[in-house]
Amino acid sequence: LLDTGMLLPQESSSRELKDLSGLWDFRADKSPSRKQGFESAWFSRRLAESGPVIDMPVPASYNDITQDSTLRDFIGWVWYEREVVVPARWIADEGTRVVLRVGSAHYYSVVWVNGVKVTEHEGGHLPFEAEIGSVIRKDPTVPCRITIAVNNTLTLETLPPGIIQHMDNPKMYPDGYFVQNIYFDFFNYAGIHRPVLLYTTPKAYVDDITVVTDFLDSTGLVMYKVTVQGAATATLKVTLMDKDKHCVASSSGPSGVLKVADVKLWWPYLMHVNPGYLYSMEVRLVAADGKSNYEDVYTLPVGIRTVNVTSTQFLINNKPFYFHGVNKHEDSDIRGKGLDWPLIVKDFNLIKWLGANSFRTSHYPYAEEILQMCDRHGIVVIDECPGVGIKDIRSFKNASLTHHLVVMEELVRRDKNHPSVVMWSVANEPAAEMPPAEYYFKTVIKHTKTLDPTRPVTFITDSNYARDKGAPFVDVICVNSYFSWYHDPGHLEVIPIQLKTQFENWYQKYQKPIIQSEYGADVVPGLHSDPPLMFTEEYQKVVLQNYHDVFDQKRKQYVIGELIWNFADFMTAQGVLRVVGNKKGIFTRQRQPKAAAFILRDRYWKLANETG
Ligand code: GCB
């Protein structure tokens, strides 16, 4: 199990932060082996000295930034570098920890500071960090040079998995030609996708905080646990404050229970007049390590709520919750999967305009900044790990499983305190009918429940209800189906009977609540036809209406949610089924509504009035 925390860096009276977003030097290693950067030790001097560099914005995917198609489709190592001036007091004060943190970089990263390797990390969607104080203190006169090499290659042991296919046919392909095959339906954008930060803490510091919340009548309960590093002796004071900064409960010690009278619960958007209520939990550490005394302050937003699942319902604060929401992607023009505030805020405005109360982080963990927005706005989240495209029997082997367990540890460690996160999804559409799937999903789900006993766990299936080997272990059945699209294309009339049968089969077998976790149809915006034909705005509307009629019959029984595929059009690998990306968005990639967005908007607001 992971032995350190991964709290989102913040400024406080004891912590400083420097955001390294902006332009970095960049070079793709296009040598045939892709290893020239390592062989020639590009990290040992300035990147610009070992060859040409170009400007690359961070955070952003590098793929769509230039006009160079070989960079758009590049497979292998790319190199980023920038120098930063570190405040003299960070260096002078031995009692200050200086930490370098990468919000996420896809997929495998190696990090050097002034030519010294400080960390490496596998996985494209979760943060990693390294303490760099000792490196930058060696020679305070040189600027701090940060070099990050990132490799987007996917193999059967990565998550998501992929395969590099070598084309050894000299008459048909150039010498050494290879391609990256993937089994998921979004472009494998790469680069440094989330902010790179330098931040400080005192040498003795609050390393991790875990909160679990509950309530009894009008009293809220916050069970907390704090871990401290670097201290020989430590005193902890924990204060819970309401929105007006009034102290409502306090405690001391590394663990305890805060009792909040007249609690204001955390409610989903549209379920309460005051959704997303957050308290602030200030953790104040006073510590000593034998030489010096330290004080550290970290403040965690806390929403008090409960989550429970019955055989027919999903309960938030003991009230039935119906997911009417969307599946998303971190995806947009030019920046690819790079974090972008205007885009994030626009998406939240659209989600609220729609009357959506939830989304799934299909098909990987989204930025923490996004989850914090969900906490504040009351948008409920199904938090999915990058377990997408587990289609090949070889990706069920032990090494892959072990890595999947580590990813779940990293995910739960990062997201465990978000009230918006109500369920973990360990995978999307794996080959769940293959025999090894049983042991695989039993193990991943059990592990996730050990890491977090408070949230239900699921994976998203498109398998046959009778043959799915993972379904016995999930708390909620999440099913994707594309009736009248991938099955019986063009035959809208089959949707009612097929969807009804789908729900009845799953429910009869498992007696667990069901979410329709994907449904939809591609639309090339502006294409029209009546009667509706595939790819027109009218067709998407009628698909939705047919699905909605069945949802309305079944939500009175055991269907607990509907998540449209997809919120917006997004980029994919090229292929005959994709017209410059996946067009199942109800918004275009530029976030303009297609006709179906208005259908959904009417429906979601109606549902909110009925169920809220
Ligand atoms: C699915 C996948 C999703 C795809 C979608 C589609 O079942 O889960 O990643 O993008 O279908 O449009 O094909």
State ipTM. Answer: 0.99
| Ligand 1 closest atom vs CA 363 | 9
| Alpha-carbon distances of 273 from 241, 266, 268, 301, 344, rounded to whole Å | 21, 11, 10, 20, 23
Q: Is the CB of 517 under 6 A from ligand 1?
A: no
Alpha-carbon dihedral angle through residues 112, 114, 115, 121, given to the nearest 10 degrees: -10
Distance 185 CA to ligand 1 centre (A): 6
The residue contributing the CA closest to ligand 1 atom 10 is 185
Q: From ligand 1's centre to the CA of 152, what distance in Å?
A: 21
Q: How far is the CA of 125 from the centre of ligand 1 (A)?
A: 19
Instruction: Report pLDDT for 112.
Output: 98
pLDDT computed for residue 612 by the predictor: 61
List the 205-216 sheet strands across, edge first.
205-216, 219-229, 255-260
Atom 6 of ligand 1: nearest residue by CA position = 185
User: Crossing angle, helix 595-611 and helix 537-554, to 10 degrees?
Assistant: 20
Q: Is 584 in the pocket of ligand 1 (CB under 6 A)?
A: yes
Token digits of residue 438: 């049983």
Cβ of 375 closer than 6 Å to ligand 1, yes or no, is no
Those residues whose C-beta lies under 8 Å from the C-beta of residue 227, and which sit 6 or more positions away, are 5, 206, 207, 208, 209, 254
**62 vs 192: CA distance, rounded Å:** 8
Strand, coil or helix: 157: coil
Model pLDDT, residue 152: 98
The vertex-323 CA angle with 321 and 325, nearest 5°, equals 150
Residue whose entry in the numeric block shows the structure tokens 């967005």: 597
Active-site residue, from 429, 518, 537, 562? 429
Which residue type is seen at 410? E
* Ligand 1 proximity of 331 Cβ (cutoff 6 Å): no
Whether the CB of 522 sits within 6 Å of ligand 1: no
Per the annotation, the verdict on 429 as an active-site residue is yes
- Cβ atoms of residues 129 and 205 within 8 Å: no
Nearest protein Cα to ligand 1, atom 5 = 185
Q: Does 582 contact ligand 1 (Cβ within 6 A)? A: yes
**Ligand 1 atom with minimal separation from the 577 CA:** 13
How far apart are the C-alpha atoms of 105 and 191, rounded to whole Å?
6
Q: What is the pLDDT of residue 1?
A: 86
Cα distances from 579 to residues 56, 434, 523, 572, 582, in angstroms, run: 28, 32, 10, 9, 7
Count Cβ atoms below 10 Å from residue 52 Cβ, excluding itself.
8
Using an 8 Å Cβ cutoff, are 410 and 364 in contact? no
What atom of ligand 1 comes closest to residue 520's alpha carbon? 12
With a 6 A CB cut-off, is 565 part of the ligand 1 pocket? yes
Q: Which helix (H) or strand (E) is 209 found in, with range? A: strand 205-216
Q: What is the CA radius of gyration of the chain?
A: 25
Tokens matching residue 185:
């339906």
CA-CA-CA-CA torsion for 22, 116, 43, 85, nearest 10 degrees? 30
Judge if the beta carbon of residue 185 lies within 6 A of ligand 1. Answer: yes
Q: Output the residue whose Cα is nearest ligand 1's atom 4.
A: 185
Per 3-state DSSP, the chain is made up of helix, strand and coil in percentages (nearest 5) of 25, 35, 45
Q: How far is CA 20 from CA 46, 57, 145, 199, in A?
A: 17, 10, 12, 10
Q: Look up residue 409 and give its amino acid.
A: E
Nearest CA to ligand 1 atom 3: 185
C-alpha of residue 334 to centroid of ligand 1, in Å = 22
Q: Ligand 1 mean position to 164 CA, how many Å?
A: 22
Instruction: Say if pTM beats, i.e. exceeds, 0.95.
Output: yes
CA 157/CA 403 separation, integer angstroms: 7
Q: Which atom of ligand 1 approaches the CA of 362 most closely?
A: 9
Among candidate residues 353, 372, 360, the one with its CA nearest the CA of residue 329: 360
Q: 41: burial class by Cβ within 10 Å (0-12, 13-18, 19+)?
A: exposed
- Report the half-sphere exposure of 162 (CA within 13 A, side-chain side): 20
User: What are the DSSP E strand ranges found in 289-346?
Assistant: 293-302, 307-309, 314-316, 319-320, 323-327
Residue (of 20, 18, 101) closest to 58 by Cα position: 20
Question: Could you tell me which residues are beta bridge partners of residue 423?
Answer: 382
Nearest ligand 1 atom to the CA of 460 is 8
Protein residue whose Cα sits closest to atom 13 of ligand 1: 185
480 in contact with ligand 1, CB cutoff 6 A: yes
Quote the ligand 1 centre to 487 CA distance (angstroms).
13
* Sign of torsion over alpha carbons 359, 360, 363, 365: positive
Ligand 1: distance of its center to the CA of 544 in Å?
16
Å from CA of 482 to ligand 1 middle? 9
Q: Provide the pLDDT for residue 407.
A: 98
State which of 390, 429, 486, 565 you would mutate to test the pocket of ligand 1, scoring each by most atoms of that ligand within 8 A of its C-beta. 565
- pLDDT means per 10 residues in the chain (612 residues)? 95 98 98 96 98 98 98 98 96 96 98 98 98 94 95 97 96 95 98 98 98 98 98 97 98 98 98 97 96 96 98 98 98 98 98 98 98 98 98 92 98 98 98 97 98 98 98 98 98 98 98 98 97 98 98 98 98 97 98 98 96 67
Q: What is the pLDDT of residue 611?
A: 73
